[in-house]
Chains A and B, each alone.
Chain A
C-alpha cells in the first residue's frame, strides 16, 4: 500500500523554466512533509519542508505548496538550472509515530541547457 505517491517517474524541463514535481498521499494523519533531492551514488539531501498548518513554504528558488483537502503537494523550482537535475523524493511523517519517514518512489528531473 503506497501511502505517498509520485506518479511521474521522470520530468524534462528547459533551463530557466519552471519545474513542477507532484506528490499525493493517502493517510490523513500525515501532517509534515519534506522534499529530498538525490544525486547518483549519493544519499538524499534535505531540500524543503512544510507543516500541515501552512499551505506554502518558500526557500529561494524552491517553493512547496500543500493542498490538504486534495492530499496533494507540489514542489516548484523557478528558474530551473541544469544542476537541479536529480531524483526528487517526497516524504512524510505521520503524527506521533516517531521518526519513521514514508517516501514516494521519486521523480527524476532533467533540466536541459
Chain B
C-alpha cells in the first residue's frame, strides 16, 4: 500500500493568516493527490483534486501544489469557517489511503 504522512498533526493560527499543510507519499504518486476538509460531525468535503484543481464552489484562498511524493495545501487569508481538520488522500492506486489529518484551530 502507498502510505501517506501528513504534517503537522495540529496547527494553531489566526484569522487572516496563511497556513501550509504538507503530505508525503511513500512512493511516487504523480499528481494523484486530493485534499478534504472535515468539520465536527460532518462528512469530509472535497477541496482539491489531482494536486491543484479546485473543486467547484471552493474559495480560491485554497490552493495545492506538489508532485511525486511531496504535496502542500495552502490556505491564504484564513477565515473563521476554515478552522477544521484537513486530510490528504492518494488516488494513484487502490487501496486509497488518507493521511492522518491536520487539525487547524484558532490561536
A, B: real partners: no
